[in-house]
Structure 1
């Protein structure tokens, strides 16, 4: 089975709420800053260029509850930005090492794999060959921070 996949950053409704309220869902104030360049943005799934208006906020990517529903730091633009192309692997993340964590529909982690630069798409398709896999979180290898979530289309 070769699943059609959907790539998701921070949900637009969550971004709207955080930007409007000027704090994240954990109560941390949104503190705008200029990017130094290189920060992975989880709103549009791009890498920031120098001088962009960004903020570091706390975010919980797991929609199901449970012990794996952790909250972690993510960079976002402080203003509206282009939504990521949900139909393709984010180009700015292709040449980065990543930890791929598959979860079942109940939010339990099934396995894990480290994808070398350029292999993330192949590894994701392999993980989704298992029908028990509901979502895969793509994470930073060193810091463990969530980058984006992948799920089957439909």
Structure 2
């Protein structure tokens, strides 16, 4: 069974609201800074380039709710960016080790997979073979922070 997947960054409407308010949804000020290369940007799902203006905000990535709906730090562009329009695994995250956490529709974590560099795409397809999986969070191995979510594309 082939499942078409959607790769989900921080929603652009949330970022517009946060940038307009000058603080994230948890009261932390948005403080732009000049980036070095390599910060994982959760607005456009790529790594930052030297000299870009970015900010660190708090974000709750789970739209499912439940006790696993944690809040954590994410880097985003300080100003509006094109976002992520891709339909395949974000290229800058392909060759990184990652933790994949599948959740059911009630927001309960079903499993956890450590994917080695280059294996995340295949592991995602395997996880989505289980019809109980509603969402998978792709996370950083060292810091544990959320990189992006993946869900089945709505028909």
Determine the C-alpha separation between the residues in 1 that align with 2:86 and 2:107.
Answer: 21
Counterpart for residue 33 of structure 2: 33
Residue 102, structure 1, aligned to residue 102, structure 2: yes
Counterpart for residue 70 of structure 1: 70
Determine the C-alpha separation between the residues in 2 that align with 1:53 and 1:139.
Answer: 23
Counterpart for residue 81 of structure 2: 81
Contact 1:35–1:50 (8 Å) recurs in 2: yes
1:121 is paired with a residue whose SS is helix
Counterpart for residue 136 of structure 1: 136
Contact 1:2–1:128 (8 Å) recurs in 2: no
User: C-alpha displacement at 1:82, in angstroms?
Assistant: 1.1
Counterpart for residue 42 of structure 2: 42
Contact 1:103–1:110 (8 Å) recurs in 2: yes
1:56 is paired with a residue whose SS is strand
Contact 1:94–1:117 (8 Å) recurs in 2: yes
Determine the C-alpha separation between the residues in 1 that align with 2:94 and 2:62.
Answer: 22
User: C-alpha displacement at 1:86, in angstroms?
Assistant: 4.0
CA root-mean-square deviation: 0.7
Counterpart for residue 121 of structure 1: 121
Counterpart for residue 7 of structure 1: 7
Determine the C-alpha separation between the residues in 1 that align with 2:81 and 2:59.
Answer: 18
Contact 1:135–1:151 (8 Å) recurs in 2: yes
Determine the C-alpha separation between the residues in 2 that align with 1:86 and 1:148.
Answer: 13
1:44 is paired with a residue whose SS is coil
Counterpart for residue 111 of structure 1: 111
Q: Which runs of at least 4 in structure 1 moved beyond 6 Å after TM superposition?
A: none
Unpaired runs of 5+ in structure 1?
none
Contact 1:8–1:86 (8 Å) recurs in 2: no
Determine the C-alpha separation between the residues in 2 that align with 1:86 and 1:3.
Answer: 16
Q: TM-score, normalised by structure 2?
A: 0.97
What are the superposed Cα offsets for residues 96-142 of structure 1, whole Å, 9 maximum, x if unpaired?
Answer: 00000000000000001011111111000000000000000000011
User: C-alpha displacement at 1:66, in angstroms?
Assistant: 1.2
